[in-house]
Homo-oligomer: A and B are copies of this chain.
């Protein structure tokens, strides 16, 4: 492993620590590595050392190329300075992907507290988006952000279809950044069908970083340090795991639901397909009739499954009622040529 410190902006005191591990040789099956960019917290007043190297080491240990960005803080904190620093760092990393043996579509960002705000901005409003974001007790609500700086954007308002999958963690009893910061951001992700995982621990306060023994967190519950290994396994689900000369296929898609994709498909829910154009509805008429028949037969037995049917994917239902797969495929071929109305 080679560890270096690059100065990104002398004037604003912005630096990037790089931890680059070898590929090939004795690591023969590894030809490239995924990467992660660490954004420490510190209320835009500082970049906390406790959320810098101790965090980067976690992912370096897991085989990731790891980077720590010390972005503009204190007198240089005016927005969008920190975001610009992020853009510069991510652009540099992607441009050096070859030299640094990095899969350029497998680069995560992790941020804590104010760094979590920056990470959430990277996931929602940046030009050079990360492929996954880990948000640790991130400050993302207006009430707390206004205390840090009056001009900060509210990431939850900008979640869109391009937002990457997110992993969120915090402690319930955080009194610096209230738990509604994490919970409301989950709702924003949910509204856009973005995949996420979330762990809110009963107690641990604010700023616990990895919860490692050596960080001397005063009071935290036994589950809290689990976010570290859990986040590694989650990244393995989103990026794929290390395989032979390539990463394996991701186990978890970045989206939950396909109702917001540009084109229609049999993966859309019935409820969503029912809101499409008359032409589409005509095309779907026969299968909808079949489903209505099933709903009616349940109603006779005193059971209303119409709500359930609305929420299910068309494909799943057609499979349940034994529509032949070729017929489903044919339907899908038709749907995927139709622009989605949403």
CA distance A71 to B130 in the complex (A): 41
Instruction: Tell me if A33 is interfacial: C-beta within 8 Å of chain B.
Output: yes
Instruction: Tell me if A87 is interfacial: C-beta within 8 Å of chain B.
Output: no
Instruction: Tell me if A342 is interfacial: C-beta within 8 Å of chain B.
Output: no
Decide: B223 and A244 in contact? CB cutoff 8 A: no
From residue 27 to 60 of chain A, which have CB atoms closer than 8 A to chain B?
27, 29-30, 33, 45, 48-50, 53-54, 57-58, 60
Decide: A61 and B50 in contact? CB cutoff 8 A: no
Instruction: Tell me if A62 is interfacial: C-beta within 8 Å of chain B.
Output: yes
The number of chain A residues touching the other chain, given as a range, is: 35 or more
Mask: chain A, 1-24; 1 = CB below 8 Å from B; 0 = not: 111000000000000000001100
CA distance A187 to B180 in the complex (A): 7
CA distance A325 to B230 in the complex (A): 41
Decide: A176 and B308 in contact? CB cutoff 8 A: yes
Instruction: Tell me if A329 is interfacial: C-beta within 8 Å of chain B.
Output: no
Decide: A62 and B196 in contact? CB cutoff 8 A: no
Instruction: Tell me if A278 is interfacial: C-beta within 8 Å of chain B.
Output: no
Decide: B234 and A202 in contact? CB cutoff 8 A: yes
Decide: A33 and B197 in contact? CB cutoff 8 A: no
Decide: B173 and A256 in contact? CB cutoff 8 A: yes
